């Protein structure tokens, strides 16, 4: 459940709120009692891409040209 904090209070408690957000707590910043912004942890970085990791998992048929009927369907003909 998100924690709602007014901007004035957030200014004085920013370091603590930042640590809470980093640990997973979602914090809603409110201005005059109305939700204004969201402070939340960053999404974890995606792993590095590794070329060739699908080697041997894709059949040769994948690389064959599509039949004319299917090409026409993709092109909206």
Say yes or no to pLDDT of 62 above 90.
no
Return the pLDDT at 7: 93
Average of per-residue pLDDT across 48-65: 85
Question: At 31, is the secondary structure helix, strand, or coil?
Answer: strand
Return the pLDDT at 50: 83
Question: At 34, is the secondary structure helix, strand, or coil?
Answer: strand
Say yes or no to pLDDT of 28 above 90.
yes
Q: In what order do the strands lie in the sheet with 3-6?
A: 3-6, 27-31, 34-39
For the chain, give the mean pLDDT. 90
- Binned at pLDDT 50, 70 and 90, residue 18 comes out as very high
* Cα gap 42→55, rounded to integer Å: 32
* Nearby residues of 28 by Cβ (< 8 Å), 6 or more positions away: 2, 3, 4, 5, 35, 36, 37, 38, 39
The CA-CA-CA angle for residues 15, 17, 23, to 5°, reads 105
């Amino acid at each position: 459940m998100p924690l709602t904090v007014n901007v004035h209070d957030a200014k004085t408690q920013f370091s603590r709120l930042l640590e809470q957000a980093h640990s997973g707590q979602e914090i809603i910043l409110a201005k005059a009692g109305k939700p204004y912004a969201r402070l939340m942890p960053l999404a974890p970085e995606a792993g590095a891409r590794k070329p060739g990791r699908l080697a041997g998992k894709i059949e040769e048929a994948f690389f064959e040209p599509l039949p004319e009927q299917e090409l026409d369907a993709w092109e909206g003909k």
